[in-house]
Structure 1
Amino acid sequence: MELQAPVMGARLAHKMMSTRNLTMDPRNFHQFVMHRVTEILETTLVELWRWIPSKLNVTDGATKVTGQTQQETWITDPQFLKNDASNWPISKKQESIIDTSEIRKHVMTTHTKSVVMFNANDFSNWRRLYRAVALVLLFTDRLQAKCAGRDMPATATKAHVSKAKMLLYKQSQSIAFAAELKTLSAGTALPKGSRLAGLNAYLDIDRVLRTRGRLNAVDIAEDAITLAHGCRITNLIVRSFHEKYHHLAHETIINDIKNSSYISRLRVLHKSVRNTCQRCKINRAVPRPPHMAPIPRARVGNFERPFTYTGVDYFGP
């Protein structure tokens, strides 16, 4: 081991000293050019290569159509090769034009989505779901504040929570009411066959689908948000109201949900939530009394003399 250590160190030092700093990066070229340029740079030195102008290049007679006859120079050689190497043509780098036709072109494409999708099936609680989305929004705000040089927010605020809920509402609506959203976005009325035809549905400023009610004159009243019956997000919202009222006051739960949301077949959905609630199952459970055993023959014996069946307690007081 003591002998291997200096050997490895010597090999590493030799490798570092033998590495040449190349001014050209062949990885910028296409594969065909890249591999051949790399092989040339690895097997030869850059100082060994010289430049020849096109007018003195003999090989052009075999690869290009020219009006000049180069038979003599083709057989012999260019005249400047007979002179001293110091008199050979020199490349003027400041006048040369860089050929970029073989450089690899990087094409980048982007794909944007109009709606951010969150997997609501991974959550069993409505509060945990919108809090998780609020933390995602907090993270994006922190990144934007850091890039802009502003103070970064430390915790999620009420604005993050409200925005998170709106994003989840829009996600649920984009899946269940895709055709209705497309129609309303175009500024046309819903067809008669739509599920929301008679509900005065419209899109608010946040592009959330709402149902216009009759309490517009009341300042505290707000139009109900339209949610689908079979959506996971809707199920979590109804379950949160069910747990808020401690699994009781079912009619109060229905009225409270209707104040903020419109859900078709709400009573059916609330009943399914109650049936799947484990606490409600335990509260509805009723003990089943066991069947009584048949009476022994000694107790029902008829037409028998007294004390025919007698029991003696030997361990009594």
Structure 2
Amino acid sequence: MQDIWRRKFDWDDELSQDLIDRWIRWTETLPSLSKLVLERCISPRRNDLTTTELHVFGDASEMGFGAVAFVRFLFSDGTASVKFIISKARVAPLKFLTIPRLELNAAVLAARLSVQVSIEHDLVFDQTFYWTDSTTVLSWINSRNCRFNNYVGNRVGEIFESSAPDQWNYVPSASNPADDASRGLDPSEFTIDHRWFSGPPFLRGLEEWPKLQPLPVIDERDPEIRETTWVGLVHREIDEIDLLIQRKSRPQIIINTVAYLFRFIRNVRQRNRDKRATSGLSADELQIGKSFILRRMQSNVYHQEVSDLRADRQIDKNSKLIKLAPYLDHRGYMCVGGRIGKAPLPIDTRHPIILPRSERMTELIFFTLHRNRGHLSASELHHEARLQYWIPKGRITALRVHHLCYPCKKLSAKGTTPIMAALPASRLKVGYPPFTHTGVDYFGPIQVNIFRRTIKRWGCLFTCLTSRCVHLDMAYSLDTSSFISALDRFQNRRGVPASYHSDNGTNFVGAERELAACLENLNQHAILRHLGRQPSKWVFNPPAAPHFGGSWERMVRAAKIAFRSVLGNQRLTDEILLTALTLIENILNSRKLTPVSEDPNDPECLTPNHLLLGRATPNLPPDVFTEDDLSAKERWRIAQAVIEQFWRRWMKEILPSLTERENGIKSVPTSRWEISSSSLTQQPPVEFGLLEGLFKRFLETMESFVPRPSRQREPNVTDRLTYCFF
């Protein structure tokens, strides 16, 4: 059948005559098997059984491979009985395999047969023997120090799962019954006395058992042996000089110590004590110590290169120093050959000494240069070192030295940015009319022409901290009286805010003082006239803290951009400037507070004008109304519906966007704060449940009547929403 597949016959093709003849000859021999009778019972019939053994044989050829198992019973009188148990055979695969691999497959099949027999039979085997006629397979099984390819390694591993190497034995091919399974037999040769059923003669005690010959040594060039690459670390032994370099942190101390060692050696060799050196180290002695240290560093890392140069040989082309064209100078140093030998530079700069980057002495030299040159930067330190030494990848060493320098690290340290604080309560007052909490700032100056003179004017910006509405006015000067006038104009148009927020400008501080005094007088007169006026609270930012006023600083920037876009660098008059400020105010109040949606069914984006005017732009009405809708009650309900819709959308779309912190994301550890953690946890969180109560009270009040602000109390949420529109 395998020959048919090998010749690639199709199902409907007629076979060749030689294949047909082979088939006919094989079928003619089958009737001879009818005389073959096998005993189904393999248990011994005697009662003097002493030992039960399992013997499994395996063999292979170019045609196929197979395995056969026998059970051997030993009796007390020394006789033995062998019974056939099971066998399996496989044809060789179509893909070519070498004979050793086929023999290995036969050994795997034998191991599997032994496992199957042990599971399926009730017999308990005292010993199990495996037999093969391949010494190569026996060498693979008994060799545990070789690394085989995947094919051999996987199968040897499977053999080890069910057997041990000492269970495998050698049997000659002539005595191996599995050879009949690998090569095939004519059916006429099958009889009950054949070795396929009765086992080899040595199992029955008719011959001596085969002796195991010495196994051949596995050749490293065997294709089944995987090429191994040595991976390891050559560790150089540490001597006293290495310990000296590790324990000291200054190169000069190391050089002095080595110089004293050489002096000691010379003094010991000098028999005349008068000629022994006892004074301080000379320049020559220091140079000897330095030369010894540098040459030792080069020999430790570049031993092969130094040996080649000393033997007048060319260094290896795979060496890391091949591009430097190194050579040995008269002092014994390995220096850079390079291409700048004719440059008008000192010899040490043209041909610097090569130092290995991995040596500790190299880092100590860098540290000394770094300290002596006033703590240079990493780049400057690298350039300074190149005037005398060439360190491969020296920039990395310079960066490491600069990074490890404690004074440089302390000078370049940056303070930790504290975590961004939570928004103040004035930024989250929902339901109040615009400008309840107002931020104030100036911008300018703006050049204005009056007759033939040029005078400076300033823009005064008022912004609502919650709804981000903007009110612009012109300040005629930077003094307090001018600001109070602008403040009065703002309050007359927008109402009196509950609080003002500004930086520590002198005009703001002065205005706060004067307003406090004026409000006290106004309150006295108002009490006499039964009129009440609630004074506004003024909140100043801490000094040198402009980030406290980010909400109005951003509006100042937007106003400046709009101002330059509208007027550019034109010279204005007061009248044109006032008109321009109102135009810019309209532009800022028409800006989008929420992202623009591409869905036409979504509501339009919120703008400050929705709260100020009830619509996004002052040029278009919010809706088309008839005469029936123009009653006072209906106008009031429309206004309240617009306000309610604004604040509901503000809470849903704008308030969540204020949650993220833009700056100071990396928080400061609590242990570095001066205040205790207990005091931090005692701060009450922002309770947004108050907002729901405000809206409930707002709706209940709107259904009953239109309240008016009381004279003796601050207007509540409903009051502020009402008189904003009436």
TM-score, length basis structure 2: 0.25
For 1:1-317, list aligned pairs within 5 A: 117-119=241-243, 120-145=245-270, 147=272, 149-213=274-338, 214-215=340-341, 220-222=346-348, 223-291=351-419, 293-294=421-422, 297=425, 303=432
**Alignment partners' CA distance in 2, 1:173 and 1:193:** 18
Largest Rg, 1 or 2: 2
String of CA shifts for 1:2-37, please: whole Å, max 9, x gaps.
Answer: xxxxxxxxxxxxxxxxxxxxxxxxxxxxxxxxxxxx
Contact residue 263 and residue 277 of structure 2 kept, 8 A: no
**Alignment partners' CA distance in 2, 1:125 and 1:274:** 16
Contact residue 298 and residue 309 of structure 1 kept, 8 A: no
Contact residue 309 and residue 327 of structure 2 kept, 8 A: yes
**Alignment partners' CA distance in 1, 2:275 and 2:375:** 46
Distance 1:144 1:297, change over 3 A: same
**Alignment partners' CA distance in 1, 2:363 and 2:277:** 35
- Does the residue aligned with 1:188 lie in a helix, a strand or coil? coil
User: What stretches of structure 1 of length at least 5 have no aligned partner?
Assistant: 1-114, 311-317
Shift of 1:133: 1.9
Contact residue 138 and residue 155 of structure 1 kept, 8 A: no
Shift of 1:117: 4.0
Contact residue 225 and residue 260 of structure 1 kept, 8 A: yes
- What is the identity, as a one-letter code, of the residue corresponding to 1:247? H
Shift of 1:171: 1.2
**Alignment partners' CA distance in 2, 1:155 and 1:146:** 20
- Does the residue aligned with 2:387 lie in a helix, a strand or coil? helix
Distance 1:150 1:197, change over 3 A: same
Give the count of matched residue pairs: 197
Greater RCO structure (CA 8 Å; 6+ sep): 1
Contact residue 141 and residue 153 of structure 1 kept, 8 A: no
Contact residue 184 and residue 190 of structure 1 kept, 8 A: yes
**Alignment partners' CA distance in 2, 1:239 and 1:166:** 19
String of CA shifts for 1:225-250, please: whole Å, max 9, x gaps.
Answer: 11111111111111111112221254
Distance 1:137 1:219, change over 3 A: farther
- Does the residue aligned with 2:281 lie in a helix, a strand or coil? coil
Shift of 1:219: 8.4
String of CA shifts for 1:264-296, please: whole Å, max 9, x gaps.
Answer: 011111011111221221122111242354366
**Alignment partners' CA distance in 1, 2:406 and 2:252:** 19
Contact residue 142 and residue 153 of structure 1 kept, 8 A: no
Contact residue 378 and residue 402 of structure 2 kept, 8 A: no
Distance 1:299 1:188, change over 3 A: closer
Distance 1:295 1:241, change over 3 A: same
Please provide the CA RMSD for this pair. 3.2
- What is the identity, as a one-letter code, of the residue corresponding to 2:405? C
Distance 1:146 1:253, change over 3 A: farther
Contact residue 259 and residue 285 of structure 2 kept, 8 A: yes
- Does the residue aligned with 2:323 lie in a helix, a strand or coil? coil
**Alignment partners' CA distance in 2, 1:127 and 1:290:** 45
**Alignment partners' CA distance in 1, 2:403 and 2:390:** 22
Aligned-pair identity in percent equals 20
User: What stretches of structure 2 of length at least 5 have no aligned partner?
Assistant: 1-238, 437-496, 499-533, 538-726
Distance 1:301 1:191, change over 3 A: closer
TM-score, length basis structure 1: 0.53
